[in-house]
Every structure is written in structure tokens, then in C-alpha cells.
Amino acid sequence: MGLQEYFAQLGRGVDLVAECSGLSAPDLEKMGASAQDAAELISLHAIYFGTTPYTGKQRLAVDAARRSKHTLTTLRRIESFTRRITGKLDAWNLRVELCTTPPEQVAAVARRRLREMRAPRKYCERAMLRQHPNGLATLTVTANGLDMADAFRTIDQQRPGESFIARMLGKAGPAARTRVTTMAVLRLEDYGTILRGEGEDVMVRTTSGAVVTGAQLVERACADEGLVTIISRAQGPVDLYRFERFASLKQRTMLAAEHPTCAWPGCNTPAERGQFHHLTPWKHGGQTNVANLVTLCNYHNGVNDDDPNAPPRRGRLAREGGTIVWQPPAH
């Protein structure tokens, strides 16, 4: 067989599989196939042409594999991914998608889908140490989110290793208590729930990025050193309760309360690592008051379309009523 003919055959993998109809692995071996090739062809035949409750998906997969000119190698590759899925329907959906996918992208698409299907990771307390060949080591500790946020703040980012070790091993003397306050943000209805002592199910995000239950929040007596801000859905941040006068912080505090994380849809960067953005830009007459400000991370502060007259790129944030909304670029 010439190379040209060989390549032409390669591109019709699913048709070669179809030709195994009525044949067994020993039949194929008699025709000259290796035992492994014979077994693989028979199993591919069972998948693409055998009996299945998912005949519609099966037909789609065969047509798509033919159109994509998937080779036997690609079909085998696809099975190496669908095999990892327990649900038969999920496996068929992935198979159909991969049959539609150009051969060179099959692996990337499959890995992405498998990652999406994986159950979200469950975290629990633990500590791990990895030693590196250059004399450094990495310590990974999972613990209470609020405590860890506090601990993280004590690390000097200019010399993280040195400052962490000094604190851990007591070389730095007693740890100076950080003055930063973490704030928890409650919706009014949740506040009521927590006050009734039923806060076990209420998850509260804090400006350090830590998420705690309402019950934990009460336990931690957040009110002693932190703040509780109540957000009205109609007005935005309306009132601020704290136990220490610090007026210059008030606006930033209220804004962080309204958005403990970056206000851009889908972004979770904590307010403490972000900045405050003027909705109507300062240079266009926008004022520095709470109604004209919003929490944004550095990245989204950069991509927000500040100038309404400039060509639109990524859209912009605006306040409608009491709520911050994202306006698409065409707006």
C-alpha cells in the first residue's frame, strides 16, 4: 500500500471501525491485525456501532468523527478521556464534543471539560512541607480563614520568608497586633438571623477575603475590633457602626462593606488588595463621595471604560439606584 493510500485510510477512522461489523477480535487477527489493534477496534466498534440507550448521541458522534476526519489514534485518544467519566450520558456528551473538535485540540478540550466536571475541592485543616533542591522549602497550612488572613498580614512582603520565620520562631519578639480591621458585611435579613442566634447557615464574606458563618462571626466578637455595616438594597451603603472613631476611613470602610471584593462581575479579589474607583471620573467632575465610588481590584480598575466618549472596550461599572451594575461596552 502506498503512502498516499495509507494517509487516505488514516482520515477515515470511524469508517474503518464500521467495517468491523460482524467480526470478532480473532477474525481481525486472522486478517493480520495485532492482538492489541484487534481488541481496540472491536471495543471502538461496540462504542460507535454497538447497542446503546444513547442512539441519538451515537449517531451524532459517528457523523462528527467522519466530518473531523478523526484517525483511529484520535478515536482511541477520545476514549482515554471518556473512560474517566462515570456517568454514561456525561461520557457520551464529551465523546460527541470531542468528535466535533479538531484533532489537535481534542486533548485540551477534554482536559478542560474533565476539570469542570470534577467536584469542588473540600478543604480541611492541614499542614504540608515541601523541601526544594536549592535549600528553600514551602510550608502550606490550611486553617481558619480569619486567622489566616490575620497571619498573612503579619508577613512582610519585601522579605516574606525571613519575616515569617522570625515571627514563627519567636525571634521577632511579641507580635505587634496589626491595626488593620477586617470588616464583615451582612445583608439586613442575615443580620436579623444572626441576632436570633440562627447564623449557622449564613455565610459572610469579609474584606480580608475570608468567608465565615454568621455564628463564627458572633463568636469572634467582630464588633470588638471590626465593624458591622448594613447595606440597604435601595440606597447602597447607608450607615456605619463602629466602636472607634476614625472618620477619614469612613468612606473606604463603607465602600468595602458594600463590596468586600472587587465589584466587577465574577471577580473575587478582596477589597483590602484593591482600590476605590470613581464611577464618574474625577476629571469629568465626578466627586469623591460614597455614591460615586466603588471597590475595584487593580486589574479591573485598569480595564474599566472610564471615559464614556472613548471607544468602548470592556464595559464599565455604574450605580443604578442603590446597586452597582456592569454596563456592556455597547452601552
Residue 328 C-beta: closest distance to Zn ion, Å: 17
Residue 269 C-beta: closest distance to Zn ion, Å: 5
Alpha-carbon span 271 to 79, nearest angstrom: 45
Helix ranges restricted to H, 83-186: 88-100, 106-117, 145-153, 160-168
Residue 90 C-beta: closest distance to Zn ion, Å: 32
Number of residues forming the site for Zn ion (CB under 5 A): 6
Binding status of residue 294 toward Zn ion by CB under 5 A: no
- Pick from 16, 267, 305, 319 the residue near Zn ion by CB under 5 A: 267
85 vs 211 by CB, closer to Zn ion = 211
- Pick from 47, 264, 271, 279 the residue near Zn ion by CB under 5 A: 264
7 vs 299 by CB, closer to Zn ion = 299
Residue 266 C-beta: closest distance to Zn ion, Å: 8
**Residues sharing a CB contact under 8 Å with residue 125, sequence separation 6 or more, in sequence order:** 142, 143
Give the chain's radius of gyration (CA, Å). 30
**CB 318, CB 327: distance < 8 Å:** yes
Between strands 183-187 and 203-205, the pairing is unpaired
Residue 178 has phi, psi (to 5 degrees) of: -70, 145
Binding mask 295-324 for Zn ion (x = CB under 5 A): --x--x------------------------
Angle between helices 106-117 and 72-82 (to 10 degrees): 10
**CB 109, CB 98: distance < 8 Å:** yes
Q: Which sign, positive or negative, has the C-alpha torsion 80, 81, 86, 89?
A: negative
Residue 260 C-beta: closest distance to Zn ion, Å: 12
Binding mask 223-262 for Zn ion (x = CB under 5 A): ---------------------------------------x
Instruction: Give contact residues for Zn ion (rule: CB under 5 A).
Output: 262, 264, 267, 269, 297, 300
